[in-house]
Chain A
Amino acid sequence: MSIKLLNPPHLVKFLVIGVLFSFFFSSWIYGNNIDFQNTITGTVTSSDDNLPVPGVNIFVKELPNVGAVTDMDGNYSIQAPADATLVFSFIGFKTIERKVDNRTEINVVMDSDLDALQEVVIVGYGEQKRETVVAAVVQASGEELERAGNVPNIGSALAGNVPGVITTSSTGIPGGEDPRIFIRGQSTWNDSSPLVLVDGIERPLNTIAISSVESISVLKDASATAVYGVRGANGVILVTTKRGKTGKAVIRARLNSTVKTASKLPGKKDAFDTFLVRNRAIENELSLTPESWSFFQTQDIIDKYRFPANLTEAERYPNVDWDKALFREYAPSYNANLNITGGSEIVKYFAGADFQYEGDLIKQYDNNRGYQPGFGFNRLNVRTNLDFKLTSSTVLKVGLSGSYGVRKTPWGFGGGDYGYWIAAYSTPPDIYLPQYSDGSWGYDAPSGGGEGNAIRNLAISGVQFVTNTQLQTNFTLEQDLDVILDGLKFTGTIALDNTFVEANRGVNDLYNDPQEKYIDPETGIVTYRRTYDANTGFDYQQGIKWSSSSGDVNNDATYRRLFYQTQLNYAKNFAGKHDVTAMGLFNRNEFATGSVLPFYREDWVFRTTYGYDNRYLIEYNGAYNGSERFAAGNRFAFFSSGGLGWNISNEAFMKEVDFINNLKLRASYGEIGDDNVNGRYLYLTQWSYGGQARLGTVGEQAEQSPYVWYTESAVGNPDISWEKVKKSNIGLDYGFFNNSISGSVDFFRDERVDVLISGNQRAIPEYYGTTAPVANLGTVQNQGYEIVLNLNHYFGENLRLWADLNMTHAQNKVIEGDNPELLPEYQKNNNKAIGQAYSYIDNGFYNTWDELYGTTPFNTDDSQKIPGGYQIVDFNADGIIDGFDNVPYAFAGAPQNTYNATVGFDWKGLSGFVQFFGANNVTRQVVFNSLGNQNNIVYDEGSYWSKDNTNADAPVPRWVTTTNGAANGSRFFYDGSYVRLKNAEIAYTFPAESKILTSFGFESLRLFLNGNNLYIWTKMPDDRESNFAGTGWASQGAYPTVKRFNFGLNITF
């Protein structure tokens, strides 16, 4: 009896549903022959529009087996004792109770329930009514995700919308924008990413089209996640896709047209200012290296960089604004989707198609090679979800979906590439022009091309199309087993997923170098990189050697999954007060990428809940799981959790308290496992066969010896087992004043023991000789709280103001890592956060030679000090600055606090909102080192030290000389806090009677203007929340994160 209607019900459909209800339930409604004294009739209408509501469920509270349903006109008739109470309920409306009091006609006006959406909550392997949930589960609807300014991936759209979900983004590269997601922070240094299930099957989050998402449920505490046993410790994200609804076909279309611009990039000085700073650096270090003087640039030359007299000078003294040279002003992106839902008695259907295009921020330069290099992403998703009613008690659900994503990148593009955007981060403005007027590209002759020309790199990079084709299928058979036991239901699921990845399609343009040029500003002499052709000895001619490549299977990324599951559900209400449910299931999962041996899993899960009178709730979950990563004796384990709930607002004594609509206390505790670690068969010492020594003596590649290596490839730990988290959670849900104030408060605490420490993190001397086995040696604690406050108020008839505010605090602490014994306490990771930043501490400048001689010496390079350096704190007071003065500094790389504030209004057809998202207590290392490695680039870093400005922002950079690594103190550690205008929207929905609608035949039309990541307030020099994209080094940058401005419309036919 779980017909669920997750959208606010539309009147048109009431009729259909009402008919269905009467069809389904007529047998038991009218099947009871109890003799009643009174026949009560009446009409149920909606307070919204005073129209009748069909399909409302009515029963006698004292005799729960006696019920009725309203007909198409909202009329009902029921027989009940004169002193009985009638209960009127319908999904989407607030349940109403009325005393009969000898009346024969009772007319009821039902108020719609704004929280109707959340009436049913998707939980692990099932769903529960919001009222009965004792676990910490939050749910977001597809509509909420759609507000996020046409971001192409669910991860980005989740940010801020779901309390407890902490996202950090690092790049805006088309097709690769996915942020890192933690649920309630981290409690392990191993993979902390949550388990993601789409329609119950483990599937990647980044290929789902937002338009096909009905809801996203995030399971956070033990009670919710324990059913996932060995996989649930990092939290679980459940994505549920849209399904058909009985009724006439409804066609929805949504179009988004977006422009993207690069978000904040590091500030850099132009050539003129760079030389001024460089000259200062040279003057400053003359006492150490008189030879620095040879680099001093005279003012008349410096002037030419800013004020070149003619084209020749402009080419000889370049002053390139690389951000402008590299990036377009804006890049386009589009999304269009169309879906159709509907259904009959026999079959319900949802079918949708979604097309996403992500354009490239990087400018196109003409390479004269007939292809267009750069980045881009196209994705077409289709999904069909069908529900067949095979018999009155049997439903077959079929889900078929496909995703065809084509990512365009330079040829051979991989994670470690940075040469295509490095110009925005560290290419000197004066080094060369990206392209000279004669068409040759600039290059860095003095260092043999060391400082790569990003624009040239991209222009002749070739193109590669990586096509990701996913086919996902699931078949579910639901069988009511009321014939065996009332309330029993069987569900069997089988899912087959396949993903094919084709790479290397496109244009391979490797090793076809164009002519490159360098003009020595000192002499004006032009150096061409290629003086003559190596083979012919004639002048260098750029060959036409690039060729198209037909593509091949990327076997490593190709995957297949087989999942099958059988499940028994039991749900029954006894005597109106006792709600009992039980669920048991078994599943197996077989997953393989490429040619690896398949990964196997096996789960046994059990859950039972009992609710008394909707007041007292108790739940127990158990999972018995196996993981192939562990030895036979450690392979299976039983995880269990339990929860208690108390709906205080349903107590009799609360009936008097009018302003409280909802007050519920929840508590849960349990143990969940995590085997999400690198490496398989960690218990086995493994040997491998392969590889040959190159003992030959001729050939570019020396000939291999015939003897093939036997190698001990991994040392096993027979005692290895999974990590275990003891999770506890206490929460309070509240709703006051007609739910105009509602929300929840949760406190949580994770105690993770047996955390796996990989061999290279263990305190094992390096002379051990190989990677030590992984061992369960760590303990981590993670605790925090979440506060959710939703406000909602009508001012008069038409104006509604609302606000959703939430905050998450999650703070972890390593209790035990495997630390070297003799390490000082402050350098052990114990009692510090995972990923705690470490830095030398600076304490002002030494301003004179006297003060310099008074500083604590560095253990190396002490002679390289000059006045104006940082005083580095000798933390352990041993009279020398060395590795032991590198101490915990500020915070870790994942934020402790995230905040979200969304404020909006509805006024007639007009609506709008702004969403601010922020994080604090986070540290990010960004090493933008001015003039580092004699690279002629100076970043905006405020004022420099001089003897007249001893209160400066930064020490004078060095040119020829180098300093001890400690001399920078903590200057490259930034407070990673930020507040961003994450989303904003203004939308207009045309009124139903509008001419536009009728003339085009639309049922509804909504226009909107929204945006994503519109503005950021931060101390960080660039807009990246973390350095994980690209090479992981902030100084090598990443494809910039983007701002999106989007115009779109929703049409319903």
Chain B
Amino acid sequence: MKIYSRNLNRFCLVIVATLVFSSCEEYLDKEPESIISEEEAFKNFTNFQGFTEELYHCIPDFSNAYWTNSWNWGDDEITSADMNFHVIHKFDNGNFWGWQTEHDGWGASWLNQADASRNDDRMQKDLWKNGWYGLRKVNLGLENLDLLVDATPAERDFIEGQLLFFRGWFHFQMIQYFGGMPYIDYVLPSDEPLRLARLSYHECADRAAADLREAADLLPVNWDDTQPGAATRGKNDLRINKIMALGYLGKNYLWAASPLMNLESTGSREYNSDYAKKAADVFGELLALCDSGEAPYSLVPFENYSVNFYTTGQGWRIPGGTEAIFRGPYFGANGSNWGTSKQYQPAIIQDGSNFMPTANYVSYYGMANGLPIEDITKPDPASGYDPQYPWKDRDPRFYHDIIYDGVQVVQGAMPADVEQHRYANLYTGGSYRDVSTGSRSGFLNYKFIPITANRYDDGFNYGANLNLHLPWMRLADVYLMYAEAAAIGYGSPEGKSSNYSKTAIEAVNVIRDRAGAGHVSIGEGAVAAGLDGFMSEVRRERAVELSFEGHRFNDLRRWLLLIERPYTLKTSLEFDRAGDFNTEDPTENRVLNLREEIILERDFSTKHYWLPLKNADTNMYVEFPQNPGW
């Protein structure tokens, strides 16, 4: 027994001794083979392009960022009374904090998400967090460009061009909402205090312009025709190219030229014609490339107009056609059918939620002859508008975008007890009108959904492949921005840049022609003469052509109109039906007692021109102040 236990003792001692001498720090090291080195990411085109492409997932899908979606914050749209958690509702009440996740309990704002990420979840995309993340990534890439040794010059240019584009693009997106910000063009260190000062709008815009210009010079018009793009030929539509860089370069200049931005940087409430000229030149360069066919962008024919916004029955193809210039990726095409494609109809034909166009905004849709309607309640001999037949002879885009009283909405069979809801009963007291579940304004917005998007026709069922996904920039927008920049920069509706053949007014008419609407006529009807008259038509053209695509709020801001009446009003159209109801041609229906009623007035002051920054950021140091008034 004793011998046994002695042996055991010795055995134990050996164990102890072994453990004592074998213990070491390495036991707790991270296994080296599990570490991915930084150098690996940059060594060749495949890896570096992989590094770069995460940036594409920093682009928010503003039309599908939540179940239902609010991205029109001007005088263009109003929600039913129960949608009071959306950004638009907060903005209507003057509460511009609502863009921040801290003030958005539902996480419905596409500008800011608490759980922002670059994964495949459309609801975790935002501009604020992913934007700053993207900028860090861009700078990491640019600072390590010298590690890219195993690459052709073109490959190297494309990577640098994409990175520079995104640096300009993120900054542009930030400053258009918040005003001048620090320009982040290096990898910010983590071991020293960050005390970057806010620059002026123009200082930021100049630096964004430099990046975008360089990007445009480095990038091809079309990746498909290049060596680096060959591996992904036919699948390069979303990759950044020269046209995208030029589009945003021009837009950045035009915004810098606009009254709001000029006021911030120079104190002048007028346009800045220097920036406008620069903008016109860049847009001219872009349009010349497209008109000549060198770049593969062209306006889609009007009969396919809706392909700009949605596709159906095309295997979920991304909307945009030949016209979309800059689009973000979509994250699950059927996602839009969980909300966005159901947010425009009254509950009576589709349980869902309601976003509808305001009557005041619908009035921007003028007459087919190209003339505007000055007052929707009064006859206008010049344009031919008749308030007893308000739906007659309107701009063709009115009929594409807007559901008005009497339009046949349900196309197929429906139960007999609800048959009376087949036609849009949008007259005062009609079944499509309801403060909380129907239209508050007398109109519905069907620009982004097919007419079958209701519970009876079921146009959004999975098999219909309805993919609703709006582009950030399309060619029509560029024509109109060119028109604005050229007219301002060169002081006349006939103004044009030296590198492009069309004048400002001709550029607008390209858009009118596509829609089949009459040309811009200055000094006729409600249109004043001269540049002022032209500019009011440019503004109206942007309102109509780009309606509900998320441009109006920023346009009103940059034109210094957001807080001015009537742009603070949201109205409904009240009327009664008269005479026989024509189901074949609803434009023939006569109405009586047509009047416009204010349903909401926005109580704005100058502080509402810029969104408030986060208090957490502005409380850190004095050189990063809050926007005035917040």
Seen from chain A, the residues whose Cβ lies within 8 Å of a Cβ on chain B are: 291, 294-295, 391-394, 445-450, 477, 479, 481, 483-484, 490, 492, 525, 527, 529, 531, 534-535, 566, 568, 586, 588, 597, 600-602, 604, 626-628, 632, 635-636, 680-681, 684-689, 691-703, 705-712, 715, 717, 763-770, 772-773, 820-823, 859-861, 863-864, 883, 933-934, 960, 962, 964-965
Contact = CB atoms under 8 A, between A and B. Distances in A.
Contacts of A709: 50-51, 53-54, 118
Interface in B6-57: 6, 8-9, 12, 15-16, 19-20, 23, 25, 27-31, 34-38, 40-42, 46-47, 49-54, 56-57
B85 interface: yes
A483 B5 CA distance: 9
B620 A697 contact: no
Contacts of B558: none
B591 interface: no
A767 B181 contact: yes
Interface in B44-79: 46-47, 49-54, 56-57
Interface stretch (B92-100, B206-214, B399-407, B549-557): B92-100
19 contacts: A294-B435, A295-B435, A446-B436, A448-B347, A449-B351, A525-B418, A568-B16, A685-B38, A700-B465, A701-B120, A702-B330, A709-B51, A710-B41, A764-B190, A765-B194, A766-B132, A767-B135, A767-B184, A962-B84
Contacts of A863: 93-94, 603
Given A597-B30, A707-B50, 13 more contacts: A294-B435, A392-B5, A448-B351, A490-B12, A602-B27, A692-B50, A701-B333, A769-B136, A770-B132, A770-B133, A820-B616, A883-B615, A934-B81
A822 B617 CA distance: 10
B235 A696 contact: yes
A711 B54 contact: yes
B619 A962 contact: no
Given A691-B118, A768-B136, A769-B188, A860 B94 contact: yes
Contacts of A694: 57, 120, 329-331
B539 interface: no
Contacts of B50: 692, 707-710
Contacts of A701: 120, 332-333
B352 A710 contact: no
Given A628-B29, A687-B37, A709-B51, A484 B9 contact: yes
A769 B133 contact: yes
Query: Which A-B residue pairs are the 6 nearest by beta carbons?
Result: A769-B136, A710-B41, A448-B351, A860-B95, A707-B50, A820-B619
A600 B27 contact: yes
Interface stretch (B314-322, B377-385, B497-505, B562-570): B314-322
Given A394-B8, A692-B53, A712 B137 contact: yes
Given A448-B351, A483-B6, A822 B129 contact: no
Given A684-B30, A960-B81, A698 B54 contact: no
Contacts of A632: 25, 29
A705 B35 CA distance: 24
A597 B316 contact: no
Give the interface centre of A525, A626, A685, A765 by most chain B CB atoms within 10 Å: A765
Nearest to A526: B417
B365 interface: no
A477 B84 CA distance: 68
A861 B94 contact: yes
Contacts of B437: 446-447
A767 B132 contact: yes
B226 interface: no
Interface of B: 1-2, 4-6, 8-9, 12, 15-16, 19-20, 23, 25, 27-31, 34-38, 40-42, 46-47, 49-54, 56-57, 81-82, 84-85, 89-90, 93-97, 103, 118-120, 128-129, 132-137, 140, 181-182, 184, 188, 190-191, 194, 196, 231-232, 235-239, 314-318, 329-334, 342, 347, 350-353, 415, 417-418, 435-437, 455-456, 458, 461-463, 465, 599, 603, 614-622, 624, 630
B132 A703 contact: no
Contacts of B455: 531
Contacts of B93: 860-861, 863-864, 962
Q: Is the interface of A mostly helix, strand, loop or mixed?
A: loop
A534 B329 contact: no
Contacts of A705: 53, 232, 235
Nearest to A444: B351
A535 B463 contact: yes
A768 B16 contact: no
B146 to A, nearest CB: 16
A53 B237 CA distance: 94
A810 to B, nearest CB: 30
Nearest to B347: A446
Given A697-B318, A767-B196, A822-B621, A628 B30 contact: yes
Contacts of B196: 765, 767
A860 B97 contact: yes
Contact of B132 (A566, A768, A962): A768
Nearest to B331: A694
Nearest to B437: A446
A768 B435 contact: no
A481 B133 contact: no
A595 to B, nearest CB: 11
Contacts of B462: 534
A534 B458 contact: yes
A693 B8 contact: no
A860 B333 contact: no
B420 to A, nearest CB: 11
A144 to B, nearest CB: 38
Contacts of A295: 435-436
A710 B232 contact: no
A531 B415 contact: yes
B28 A628 contact: yes
Contact of B41 (A445, A448, A687, A696): A687
Contact of B619 (A527, A695, A821, A965): A821
B12 A600 contact: no
B329 A695 contact: yes
A702 B616 contact: no
B51 A710 contact: yes
Contacts of A627: 28
Contacts of B239: 695
Contacts of B119: 691
